[in-house]
Structure 1
Amino acid sequence: MSLVYLPLTIGFYLLAQQLQKRINTPLLNPVLVTLLALVALLLFAGIEYEAYNRFSGILTDLLKPAVVALGVPLYQQLHSIKRELPQILLTVFVSVIVAVASTTAVALVLGASTEIAASLSPKSVTTPIAVLISEQVNGQPSITAIAVIVTGLVGSVIGVPWLKAMKITDPKAQGIAMGTACHALGTARIVEEGATQGAYSALSLVLSAIFSALVCPVVVPLISALF
């Protein structure tokens, strides 16, 4: 049974892709549909996640070259990115401060403990870095990992429709918004809209991770002290 975990996961994803093509709605995001199908299968069949991951973990490892591959559209847009780099840096930096501060504040206002609030603060950063940031601010890395996954899934499902509803049509603005707000999953979604969006999203993803590592240890304790 264990040998079918990997092809089964790939099969679920391919079927989910076909389903989205037939029923054109962002709610049927292939990643989300595949995740829900796998969770249902593991629960129904009583399969331990550790056993499943042991034979399908190669897919997680493939995320590393996939992220590196995002450098291709980034390189193609390098001439315009160089010209606009100061504005991009400022935009992403301010966005990270707002995201970290608002997430921490809202969590505390809703009654979450300081530890939970700290765990949620780096939710818009790619998982490996978010977990390290969580440890820095005395959060729970396991909670952070879940928050990152949920943020990415929600962003990949509703991000593009929301941008269009808000009349944000500039490809560069769309890319920066998705990369900063919902990391790799958001970038994987917005690159489907065009190479420009993909390039700016990939750059923002990296900058967001760097700035979050600098901002969280300062902003999270400050917001926690205020509440």
Structure 2
Amino acid sequence: MNTLLSVLTGLLLTIGIYAGAKRLYRRVPKVYLSPLLITPLLIIVILTQSGISYDAYNEGAKWISKLLEPATVAFAVPLYKNFQTLKRHAAEIICGVAAGSVLAMVSSGMLAKWMHLSSPLATSLIPRSITTPIAMNVSEVIGGLPSMTAVFVIMTGILGSMVGPSIMRIFRIRGEIARGILFGTAAHGTGTSKAFEFSSLSGTISSISMIMAALFTLGAAPMLMAFLH
């Protein structure tokens, strides 16, 4: 019974807070009110104040995390629906995503060295710019800490969504393709949500870029780690 109560508590608490935060974000669409930011903060406060252990909470919450992996299959939908658009702009999308992915990994390595992070933390930082389920798998393969990688991924997504519009204004990025590549490559799922606020095409290109960035990182991260070491 205690196990069942723990499962229900973790599951319902996470879903309830996220649903409320999402409803608030729809009314007041400010980045600092993003459900990805509000939900973990509120959960941390509730757990620390109520005395509920993380292990007890995670008995239910872990099932939400497990749904991330099969949900990744849904990324194939925008690829199928917008195949002709992808075909027309294949060269710029591939070049832009490849350059962005390599830059993200290299800058992560440089940032880790500058901050004198331990080897496991530095390794966990490398795949920060791709979607969470794939980033966690990449982190495990290259010797990182998947749970820390998930934190870095969320921070990257929120930060990318915050500074992305400013970068577009500064560099006068007005093309829908360029906007999609920018958000999808640099800020994965969170950035894709932001890209859809600009246009459907930007959001679709962002989805495609997010998938491609994950594939590039999956292939390049082990080689990059060998080079850094």
TM-score, structure 1 normalization? 0.83
Give CA deviations for 1:89-140 in whole Å, capped at 9, x if unaligned.
1211111111111110121123223443222111112233223322343333
Q: Which moved more, 1:146-155 or 1:53-62?
A: 53-62
2:111 alignment partner, one of 92, 97, 106 = 106
Is 1:162–2:152 an aligned residue pair? Answer: no
- Whether contact under 8 Å (2:75, 2:211) holds in the other structure is no
Structure number with the bigger relative contact order (C-alpha 8 A, sep ≥ 6) is 1
- Whether contact under 8 Å (1:70, 1:199) holds in the other structure is no
Partner SS for 1:168: coil
- Whether contact under 8 Å (2:78, 2:208) holds in the other structure is no
Is 1:208–2:213 an aligned residue pair? Answer: yes
**Displacement of 1:61:** 4.0
**2: CA distance, partners of 1:101 / 1:47:** 39
> Any residues of structure 2 matched to 1:116-155 within 5 Å, and which?
116-155=121-160
The letter for the 2-side match of 1:186 is: G
- Whether contact under 8 Å (1:100, 1:216) holds in the other structure is yes
Runs of 4+ in 1 over 4 A off after TM superposition: none
1:33 alignment partner, one of 30, 38, 44 = 38
Partner SS for 2:133: helix
Partner SS for 2:103: helix
**Displacement of 1:203:** 1.2
User: Where does residue 187 of structure 1 map in the other structure?
Assistant: 192
Aligned CA RMSD, in angstroms, stands at 2.5
**2: CA distance, partners of 1:136 / 1:172:** 32
**2: CA distance, partners of 1:142 / 1:99:** 19
Paired residues in the alignment total 223
**2: CA distance, partners of 1:132 / 1:20:** 30
2:52 alignment partner, one of 43, 47, 50 = 47
- Whether contact under 8 Å (1:179, 1:186) holds in the other structure is yes
Is 1:96–2:96 an aligned residue pair? Answer: no
- Whether contact under 8 Å (1:115, 1:140) holds in the other structure is yes
Partner SS for 2:203: helix
Structure 1 stretches of 5 or more lacking a match?
A: none
TM-score, structure 2 normalization? 0.83
Give the fraction of aligned pairs with identical amino acids, expressed as a percent.
37
Give CA deviations for 1:30-52 in whole Å, capped at 9, x if unaligned.
22112211111111112222322
